[in-house]
Amino acid sequence: MQKSWDVIVIGAGVAGGLAAFDCARRGLRVLLVEKRSFPRWKVCGCCFNANALAALTAAGLPDLISDQGAVPLDQLRIGWNGMALNLRLPAGWALSRERFDQALVNAAETAGATVRFETSAVLQETSTAGRMVQLRPPGGAPVQRIKARVVLIAAGLQHQVLAHFHEASSKSTPKSRIGAGSFISDDSSSYEFGAIHMAIGRHGYVGLVRREDGALNMAAAFDRDVIKGDGGVARAAEVVLNQAGFALPQNLESSRWQLTSALTRRAGLFSGHRFFLLGDSSGYVEPFTGEGMAWALAAGAAVAPFVEEAQGEWTKDLEQRWRRRLVDLTISRQRLCRLLSTLLRQPLTTKALFSLGCQWPAIPQRIIIRLNQVSPSMKSS
Ligand SMILES: Cc1cc2nc3c(=O)[nH]c(=O)nc-3n(C[C@H](O)[C@H](O)[C@H](O)COP(=O)(O)OP(=O)(O)OC[C@H]3O[C@@H](n4cnc5c(N)ncnc54)[C@H](O)[C@@H]3O)c2cc1C
C-alpha cells in the first residue's frame, strides 16, 4: 500500500464513489476506502430524480443509471387515511443500491482509483502539506497510517471518522425520526413497476418501489417510540400501510428491517484543515422527498476542482468556498423537504394539505415538478 496519496476518499456510497471517480479521471492519485464489503444493501428508497441524473451527467457518467437496468418511474401514489393521490413524475428511476454503488466504484476503479473494502478509516493529525489517516484493514491485519494532501469524508449519516474531533460531531434534531429499510419478494399486483407508493401514517411514512430485480424495496421513517413497540419495525410499517389504506405486501410479517440513526442532523463543520465533508456527512434532513442521493451526488460531482486546488497550499478561503458551494447545491434545497416533513407531522395540517391536493392536484403536481427541476448550480458545475 502506497503511503502517500493526492486524495483519500472515505466511504464508497454515492457521494464518495462519484468524487473518487471524478478525481481519478482528472489524473489525481485516489485511494477510496469503504468499511463494508460490496455489493452491499443499505437503507434507501432507491429512487433517483432528475437532479441525481444531472450530477452524474456533469461528472461524465450520464448512462450509469440506465446501463444498470434501472426501472423508469412515472407515477407517484400517495396514500393517507384511506385516500389516494396519484401524481405524474416528470423523471425518475428505481435502482438498488447494491447495483448503483458498485457501478460507481467500478467506474472509479476504471478511471484509476485504488479501492479498499472492509477497511475503516479515521482522520488523524495534520502533517507537512497533508493529513494523516488511520486505516483498519480486514482480518485483524495491522493498522496503517497513510497521508493524503486532501481527505474527503463521505461516510454517511453517522460515522466515526471524526472521532478525535469533538467540535465536528453532528447533532440530530430533537424528535428526529429514525430511518428503516427492508426489501421483500411480493408477487401481488398491488405495487406495480414504475410507481413510487408513499404511505403516510400518524407516526411515520413508508415508501415502496419495485427494484430492477422485481423485489419490493421499502424505506421508512418512524417516530422513535413506535418501533420500540410490540412487533418492532415490521408492525410499525403495517400500521402505517393500514392507516394509509395501502395493501399489505406479501411476506411483510417476516420482513427483516435495518435501522438508521436519527435522520435529521446538522454537521458540526463542512471542512477543516485539508479535509472536506460531503453527502449525508455534511448534514441531512428526513427523506420524505427522496432526494438524498441527488444532494450527495451533486456534492460528489462538485468537489474535484477543490481537491485539485488543494494539492498546493491549503487556505481558509478554500474552506469558505466549499461551504458556499454546499449551501448552494444541497443545504438550500433541503429547506422544502424539511418544511414538508414538519407539516406532515401535524394531523390537521396533513388533512388540510391532502384534501387540498385531492381537490386541486395541480398544486402537489407543481411541487413535484419543482423538486425535479435541475438546479442551475448543478448545471454550472
Ligand atoms: C429511509 C430512507 C429513504 C431514502 N430514500 C431515498 C430515495 O429514494 N432517493 C434518494 O435520493 N435518497 C434517499 N435517501 C437518502 C440516501 O440514502 C442518502 O442521502 C445517500 O445514501 C447519502 O449518500 P452518502 O454517499 O453521503 O452516504 P452513504 O450512501 O451512506 O455512504 C457512506 C459509506 O461510507 C461508509 N463508511 C462509514 N464510515 C466509514 C469509515 N469510518 N471508513 C470507511 N467507510 C465508512 C459506509 O459503509 C457507507 O458505505 C433515503 C434515506 C433513508 C434513510
Question: pLDDT means per 10 residues in the chain (381 residues)?
Answer: 94 98 98 97 95 94 97 95 92 96 98 98 93 93 95 93 79 83 92 96 95 97 85 92 96 91 81 96 80 94 98 96 92 78 83 88 87 70 52
pLDDT at 161: 93
DSSP state of 330: I
pLDDT at 377: 67
Q: What radius of gyration do the chain's Cα atoms show?
A: 21
Query: 14-25 vs 292-302: helix axis angle to the nearest 10?
Result: 20
pLDDT at 379: 59
Domain residue spans in the chain?
A: 4-73+92-173+264-339
CATH number listed for the domain at residues 4-73+92-173+264-339: 3.50.50.60
pLDDT at 381: 52
Long-range CB contact pairs, 334-343, < 8 A, 24+: 334/283, 334/284, 334/285, 334/295, 336/289, 336/367, 336/370, 336/371, 337/285, 337/286, 337/287, 337/288, 337/289, 337/291, 338/264, 338/285, 338/286, 340/288, 340/289, 340/367, 341/264, 341/285, 341/286, 341/288
As a dihedral over the C-alpha atoms of residue 287, residue 291, residue 294, residue 299, rounded to 10 degrees, the angle is -50
Q: Cell numbers for 326, please give them.
A: 454546499
Q: Identify which of 8, 9, 10, 14 to mutate to test ligand 1's pocket (most ligand atoms within 8 A of the CB).
A: 14
pLDDT at 313: 94
Between the CA of 99 and the centroid of ligand 1 the distance, in Å, is 14
Q: Which residues line ligand 1 (CB under 6 A)?
A: 10-16, 33-36, 43-47, 120-121, 154-156, 159-161, 179, 181, 219-221, 260, 263, 279-281, 287, 290-294, 296
Q: Quote helix, strand, coil % in the chain, to nearest 5.
A: 35, 25, 40
Angle (CA) 69-72-78 rounded to 5° is 135
Between the CA of 274 and the centroid of ligand 1 the distance, in Å, is 23
